[in-house]
Amino acid sequence: MALAALAMFGNGGSYKVHAVFQNAGQLVKDNQVRIGGSPVGTITDIALDESAQAVVTMDIQDDDLTPLHSGTTATIRSTSLSGIANRYVSLQPGPNSSQQIADGGQIGTDDTSAPVDLDVLFNTLDAKTRKGLANVLRGSGTWYEGRGEEANESTKYFAPFLNSTTRLTSELALDQAVFKRFVSDTAATVSAIAERRDDLAGLVQNTNTAFRAIGDQSVALDRALELLPSTLRKANTTFVNLRSTLDDLDKLVAESKPGTRDLARFLRELRPLIREARPTVADLRRLIRAPGSDNDLIELTAQQPRLAQLTATVFPRAIRTLDRVQPVFEYVRGYTPDFAAWIADFGQVAANYDANGHYARVQPMFLPTNYSGGTLTAVDPSQKLNGFETGVKNRCPGGITQASPDGSSPFAFGGCDTAASP
């Protein structure tokens, strides 16, 4: 029986695969895993390996997509530009003809890519470089100072620039075979360079030695010339692959010429605009990162995961509460005119006054006796509510005030008398 049930319904497990990233890109547990924009699983764990790289464990629940195959790529993406905790992993499945990735298998760093945040980019610069970048921005502001009219004039070239760019992308879309070959050859070139990085490092080192020898002494130059042929032989394969890539690149350059013909003039006339944008850039820099704690955009976005964790339980409860009180609000809504009239006219109950101060007229109801001809006569208990029953009107909600011209009050509810209004 157990074997039959297992054959019919499966073992109830799920398919897990590990992806190794250079950094986790601010992923958190329970972030989504998507293929083609559709969620197919979640992230169950994030850890570090021996090389301090992020190992992200993904649980894929869609049986139609599992198991994955070799060549599958994983990319960390964000759903928008205004948040950090909204990251997810996008998978691009490999061809079905490739080898399957077993349950618990791994996607290496060659097939993964992580985003580079703006603050990480700035942190890679040392203090001297950041100061130089700030001087460039300040110098650009001084350069474009007083040229606002020229910047405004340059904007008329922006539309032709976009138009030319549109034509360029259209040509690329039409000639997809050439574009794919360009991308493929570029990838092959970069891969070849990566595979021969030791040879490339040797080439750079030997070239540096050669130029140093030129400045120092002729004997060292002779030695460098002796080493140069072997170095060139090692780089020959890389240069051969680069040649075909450059041939394909010529077509891209030819298509780009119409769009870049007026680019120099456009940039010259853009200078006043950049100069005027200097204060904005400075304010944006302070907004992104400022000295102190809890006072810039980076620290605000860093607190978003905690906010998401808190609202994950509070918001659903608030929604359920509002759903439950909705009938109460719907019932009370019809009595809004009565409540407003009571607040407005409550002070008139004791508005009369005499020498002793304010007084209110009251009329007792449900009296135990009747006064008639100077004599109090006991009232039978069965007759005590007669006056109340005959004097009460079955008013509708909102019937305490005059009827609204648009018919919104009184509100007919529960068989009340809509004519019973002032």
Would you call the peptide bond into 67 cis, given omega within 30 degrees of 0 as the criterion?
yes
The mean per-residue pLDDT over the stretch 266-286 comes to 85
The DSSP call for residue 393 is: -
Q: How confident is the model at residue 415 (pLDDT cuts 50, 70, 90)?
A: confident
Residue 202 pLDDT: 81
On the question of pLDDT at 6 being above 60, the answer is no
CB 395 within 8 A of CB 410: yes
Average pLDDT, the chain: 78
Q: CB-based contacts of 88: which residues, under 8 Å, 6+ apart?
A: 31, 32, 33, 34, 76, 77, 78, 79
Q: How confident is the model at residue 281 (pLDDT cuts 50, 70, 90)?
A: confident
Residue 327 pLDDT: 87
Q: CB-based contacts of 322: which residues, under 8 Å, 6+ apart?
A: none
Share of the chain above pLDDT 90, in %: 2
Please give the Cα distance from 73 to 113 (Å, whole number). 8
The highest-confidence range among 98-102, 162-166, 236-240, 374-378, by mean pLDDT, is 98-102
On the question of pLDDT at 280 being above 50, the answer is yes
The mean per-residue pLDDT over the stretch 48-73 comes to 87
Q: Give the helix/strand (H/E) hosting 18.
A: strand 15-21
Q: How confident is the model at residue 309 (pLDDT cuts 50, 70, 90)?
A: confident
Residue count (the chain) = 422
Share of the chain above pLDDT 70, in %: 85
Q: How confident is the model at residue 9 (pLDDT cuts 50, 70, 90)?
A: very low
Residue 344 pLDDT: 76
Residue 224 pLDDT: 72
How far is residue 96 CA from its own chain's centroid? 33
**Count of C-beta atoms within a 10 Å radius of residue 263:** 13
Please give the Cα distance from 402 to 420 (Å, whole number). 10
The mean per-residue pLDDT over the stretch 396-418 comes to 79
Two tokens, residue 87? 């990251």
Residue 361 pLDDT: 63
Residue 57 pLDDT: 92
Two tokens, residue 299? 């620290």
**Count of C-beta atoms within a 10 Å radius of residue 168:** 17
Instruction: Give the model confidence (pLDDT) of 174-222 as tens digits.
Output: 777 777 788 888 888 888 888 877 888 888 888 877 777 666 666 766 7
CB 386 within 8 A of CB 408: no
Please give the Cα distance from 231 to 240 (Å, whole number). 15
Parse the chain into domains and list their residue ranges: 2-115
Would you call the peptide bond into 410 cis, given omega within 30 degrees of 0 as the criterion?
yes
Q: CB-based contacts of 126: which residues, under 8 Å, 6+ apart?
A: none
CB 76 within 8 A of CB 43: no
The mean per-residue pLDDT over the stretch 127-147 comes to 80
Only one residue has tokens 């606002």, namely 148
On the question of pLDDT at 266 being above 80, the answer is yes
Q: How confident is the model at residue 288 (pLDDT cuts 50, 70, 90)?
A: confident
On the question of pLDDT at 12 being above 70, the answer is no
The mean per-residue pLDDT over the stretch 63-84 comes to 79
On the question of pLDDT at 90 being above 70, the answer is yes
Taking the CA atoms of residue 45, residue 47, residue 49 and residue 54 in that order, the dihedral angle to the nearest 10 degrees is 90
Q: How confident is the model at residue 7 (pLDDT cuts 50, 70, 90)?
A: very low
Whole-number Cα distances in Å, 338 to 40, 166, 346, 422:
55, 64, 12, 12
On the question of pLDDT at 238 being above 60, the answer is yes
On the question of pLDDT at 68 being above 50, the answer is yes
On the question of pLDDT at 32 being above 50, the answer is yes
Query: Which is nearest to 169 in space by CA: 256, 246, 249?
Result: 256
* String of DSSP letters for 190-245: HHHHHHTHHHHHHHHHHHHHHHHHHHH-HHHHHHHHHHHHHHHHHHHHHHHHHHHH
Please give the Cα distance from 314 to 322 (Å, whole number). 12
Please give the Cα distance from 45 to 104 (Å, whole number). 13
The mean per-residue pLDDT over the stretch 119-124 comes to 68
Instruction: Give the model confidence (pLDDT) of 149-172 as tens digits.
Output: 777 777 777 778 777 888 777 777
Residue 36 pLDDT: 83
pTM of the full structure: 0.31
**Angle at which helices 278-288 and 263-276 pack, to 10 degrees?**
70
Please give the Cα distance from 2 to 179 (Å, whole number). 56
Task: List phi, psi (to 5°) of 371.
Answer: -105, 120
Instruction: Give the model confidence (pLDDT) of 365-392 as tens digits.
Output: 556 777 777 787 777 766 666 655 555 6
Two tokens, residue 357? 């101060």
CB 53 within 8 A of CB 106: no
Residue 193 pLDDT: 81
Please give the Cα distance from 111 to 407 (Å, whole number). 68
Tell me how many degrees the CA angle 140-145-149 measures, rounded to the nearest 5: 115
Residue 13 pLDDT: 58
